Amino acid sequence: MSVHVISVVVLLALFVIATVRPINLGALALVATFGVGVLVAGQDLKTLLSGFPTDVFVLLLGVTYLFAIATVNGTVERIVDWAATLLRGNPIAIPWAVFVLAAIPTTIGAAGPAGIAMLAPIAMRMAQKYGLNPRLIAVMLVQGSNAGNLSPLNVLGVIVGGTAARSGLDVSPTTLWLANLAFNAVLAVATFVVFGGVAILRAARTRTAESPADVDSVQAVAETQTPAADSAAAPAPAGAAVTAAVRDRADAPTDDVPDAGRAVFITTLVAILAVAVGALAFKLDIGVLAVTAAVALQLLFPESSAGAVTKIGWGTILLIGGVVTYVALMQRTGTVDVIGKGVAGISSPLIAALLLCLIAGLVSAFASSIGVLGATIPLALPLLATGSVPVTGLLIALAISATAVDATPFSSIGALTVASTPEESRQRVYSGLLRWGFAMVPIAPLVTWFVFVVI
């Protein structure tokens, strides 16, 4: 049995084991990396460890560390209250505001993780505080980030357009961007419907939200608003309770917010803004900036930062670190290339195009979208050169297929969203993003292939 077959079989086995046994998938993946890498691929330990995503480790560590401190000292609580006040406690506006705000950084050229790193801790805390389904907010964050990541200013858009241009193919960057934006806007509507938004909308329209609801009942209601894959849509009374709670909390005084002192609050807020500006405006590494800011805050205000280290998303860091390391092994052994080249050689252009999109989606669910597009587009160039399929259409389908799956907790933005979720909701968000992300593996390629290639 070849190394390619063994590595794929082992990957499938890892998911089965992690599903039936309470063990971190990342830990399993690290063990599998050492076993397959040494015994089957003949690679040494140094080579195997080279696949560990150090940059992602620093990113997740830094962001969750910084916002753990901001949560402990009360800064996040105040920011959430400010945001709710600006939105007037409207439960319908909150998910859509999250979607739009997440799209802005990527549209103007920032990497997806940079925007998510700043928004996710605030958005997920808002979902918890105001009784909204955390999975609704989590997926809206991802869809918003994805909506702008193929703009002509973003690195993904540059990669797709630049690769085509270097091969003498004509592709419209604006069409690529707008098609991706439209697709993710449609997905956002689907997200709103699937994760309980309709119940809240119905309640707001009928004004049944004026009935009293306490904090505990609202949280219980939020638990019932699960995706269609888990249960039926929440009934209208549930939406009414959530709407009432959001409005009540938005109008309620914030005297109960822990006050760690004006100096602590202002310093923490400045630190967060400095990290955001450094990452978004000056393209500095957000992980390094966040770690630096977190350490500085803990040195300056050790008492108000007590317990923050325990709130770092260690489980998420282990998860994505192990899985990415194993996928890197598969890439080094050429497993991904072998599959891609076999598909590209299929005689039917339309079938070959569909399979390339499916491969892009499946591989990108575990690996960098940039890396997947960089490897997949060259495989599609011979097919594009024949003129048998539309150039811009197939590139759009490939790009969306590789990015629509970024909701999975194995991608940087998915992992950041999970790690930024309050601990009591983290497992729900993890399972929700996992299901949604893997649902996109077949859905995004099939839909985009039909819309942009076949039609």
Q: Is the pLDDT of residue 318 over 80?
A: yes
**Calculated CA dihedral for residues 387, 392, 396, 398, nearest 10 degrees:** 30
> What integer pLDDT is reported at residue 84 of this predicted model?
75
Whether residue 114 sits in one domain with residue 3: no
Cα 48 to Cα 171: distance, rounded to the nearest angstrom: 38
Evaluate whether residue 391 is within a structural domain: no
What percent of the chain lies above the pLDDT cut of 70?
Answer: 86
CA distance 68 to 113: 18
Find the largest Cα–Cα distance for the chain. 69
Q: Are residues 96 and 211 in the same domain?
A: yes
pLDDT at 316: 84
Query: Are 160 and 20 part of one and the same domain?
Result: no
Residue with tokens 């910084």: 66
Is the pLDDT assigned to residue 323 strictly greater than 80?
yes
- Give the integer Cα–Cα distance in Å for 366 and 273: 31
Q: 320, exposed or middle or buried, with CB in 10 Å at 0-12, 13-18, 19+?
A: buried
Same domain, 131 and 203: yes
Question: Which of 227, 144, 155 lies closest to 184 in space, CA to CA?
Answer: 144
Distance CA 230, CA 128 (A): 20
pLDDT at 452: 93
Smallest Cα–Cα separation from 414: which of 157, 74, 146, 23? 146
Please give the structure tokens belonging to residue 352.
């070959």
Q: What is the mean pLDDT of residues 29-52?
A: 95
- Tokens at residue 442, please? 């077949």
The residue among 290, 315, 340 that closes a domain is 315
Same domain, 112 and 229: yes
pLDDT recorded at residue 207: 54
The sign one gets for the Cα dihedral 373, 379, 385, 390 is negative
DSSP state letters, 420-444 = TS-HHHHHHHHHHHHHHHHHHHHHH
Q: Based on the domain organization, do 157 and 81 belong to the same domain?
A: yes
Chosen domain end from 280, 299, 315: 315
Mean pLDDT, rounded, for 246-272: 67
Domain of 41 in residue numbering reads as: 1-50
100-157 pLDDT tens trace: 999 998 898 777 888 898 899 999 988 888 788 999 999 999 999 999 988 888 878 8
**For the chain, how many structural domains are there in total?**
2
pLDDT band with cut points at 50, 70 and 90 for residue 39: very high
Beta strands in 320-402 (DSSP E): none
Question: What is the model's pLDDT at position 402?
Answer: 92
DSSP letters along 249-298, please? Answer: HHHS--TTS----HHHHHHHHHHHHHHHHHHHTT---HHHHHHHHHHHHH
- Band (pLDDT 50/70/90 cuts) for residue 226 is very low
Structure tokens of 267?
């310093």
pLDDT tens-digit map of 324-361: 899 889 889 988 778 767 776 777 889 989 998 998 89
- In angstroms, the first-to-last Cα distance of the chain is 41
Contacts of 31 (CB under 8 A, 6+ apart): none
Mean pLDDT computed over 423-444: 93
The pTM score is 0.77
Do 218 and 232 belong to one domain?
A: yes
pLDDT tens-digit profile of 370-383? 777 877 787 787 78
Most confident of 159-163, 297-301, 346-350: 297-301
- Mean pLDDT throughout 287-295? 94
How far is 76 from 424, CA to CA, in rounded Å?
17
Q: Which of 270, 292, 315 is the last residue of a domain?
A: 315
Pair 44, 71 in one domain: no
8 A C-beta contact, residue 268 and residue 70: yes
> Which pLDDT does position 9 carry in this prediction?
93
Instruction: Tell me the pLDDT of the chain averaged across its residues.
Output: 83
pLDDT score at 233? 38
CB of 307 closer than 8 Å to CB of 72:
yes
Whether 82 and 181 map to the same domain: the answer is yes
Residue 236 has pLDDT above 60, yes or no: no
Is 33 in the same domain as 108?
no
Q: Same domain for 59 and 32? A: no
